[in-house]
Amino acid sequence: MKRHVRPYGDTTGDGMVQTSFTLPVPAGPKADGAALQLATKMGIDPAMVVHSRPIGDGFTFFVVYGSVRHIVDLDDVRVVERDYPLLPPAEVNTALRRLLRRKLVVVGACIGTDAHTVGIDAILNIKGFAGEKGLEYYRELKVVNLGAQVSVPELVRRARAEKADAVLVSQVVTQRDAHLLNTREMSAAFREAMGERRPLLIAGGPRFDPLMAADLGVDRVFGRSTTPGDVASYLVHAVRTRKENP
């Protein structure tokens, strides 16, 4: 694979992209010019405003096509690489037993006012996701699923009571950065309440960027299409790492 790539429309290197947006300006040539200016600032050059449509009196919606100047440097791409092996359930169980000699306790919840449990249930419930059984299926895991709209103090209380090794929180609503605010509040609360002895903190949800873990004060972030196996394997890895570097 080449190191430097550009978007591909129908020819290598043509750089073609599509974009759409609304500007708070009345439709007309001036609006089209404004759209063109924005596209140019985005690096689309030449840009074609191929569609503009008034929305009410004060807004115009645009579709723009064109070639972006930018070059993607694949060597510069930062991703959270899976730095641990994907293990089948049996190996997860064996590894955990060897490491802990007791069940690993996982407490899960949708925190804040978020009530989207389907995602965390997909990870925790036996039923699972994408053909993989959820964490409840693992013999060496004890799963406590607190469900939806759990407040942070309540979560800390329950985690402490259950002696949680890992706390898994889900955040699906992202408007006004709700997911970021709630997750930061959660990690701060655990730090405050337990300091170094806090459980592993794992956040997940479809709009999270896995690169944000440190920024959010959690150990790991999982994004869209996560499977239970991803999480179980990570747990083994994290427990082992904690044990090796206490």
Catalytic positions, written as ranges:
127
Neighbouring C-alpha atoms within 13 Å toward the C-beta of 55? 10
- Provide the minimum distance between the beta carbon of 233 and another protein in the complex, in angstroms, as a whole number: 25
User: What is the number of other CB atoms lying within 10 angstroms of the CB of residue 121?
Assistant: 20
SS3 state of residue 22: strand
Q: Round to whole Å and give the CA distance between 240 and 246.
A: 10
User: Which residues in 73-112 contact another protein (CB under 8 A)?
Assistant: 112
Residue for token pair 């009345």: 26
Indicate whether 202 belongs to the interface with a copy of itself (CB under 8 A).
Answer: no
Of 7 and 151, the one with the shorter C-beta distance to a copy of itself is 7
End-to-end Cα separation, the chain, in angstroms: 40
**The binder of ligand B12 chosen from 7, 43, 54, 206 (CB under 6 A):** 206
- Provide the minimum distance between the beta carbon of 77 and a copy of itself in the complex, in angstroms, as a whole number: 4
Of 43 and 54, the one with the shorter C-beta distance to a copy of itself is 43
- Provide the minimum distance between the beta carbon of 84 and another protein in the complex, in angstroms, as a whole number: 27
Residue 204 interacts with, from a copy of itself, ligand B12, another protein, none (CB under 5-8 Å by kind): ligand B12
Residue 202 interacts with, from a copy of itself, ligand B12, another protein, none (CB under 5-8 Å by kind): ligand B12
Burial 47-69, CB ≥16 within 10 A → b, else e: bebeebeeeeeeebbbebbbbbe
CA 15 to chain centre: 28
- Provide the minimum distance between the beta carbon of 185 and a copy of itself in the complex, in angstroms, as a whole number: 19
Q: Round to whole Å and give the CA distance between 110 and 112.
A: 7
Closest CA to 1 of 71, 81, 70, 75: 75
- Provide the minimum distance between the beta carbon of 141 and another protein in the complex, in angstroms, as a whole number: 21
User: What is the number of other CB atoms lying within 10 angstroms of the CB of residue 209?
Assistant: 12
SS3 state of residue 89: helix
Which x/- pattern over 155-194 shows residues binding ligand B12 (rule: CB under 6 A)? -------------xxx-xxxx-------------------
User: Which residues in 95-154 contact ligand B12 (CB under 6 A)?
Assistant: 113-120, 122-123, 129
User: Which residues in 144-173 contact another protein (CB under 8 A)?
Assistant: 147-149, 173
> In the complex, which residues of this chain contact ligand B12 (CB under 6 A)?
113-120, 122-123, 129, 168-170, 172-175, 202, 204-207, 222, 224-226, 231
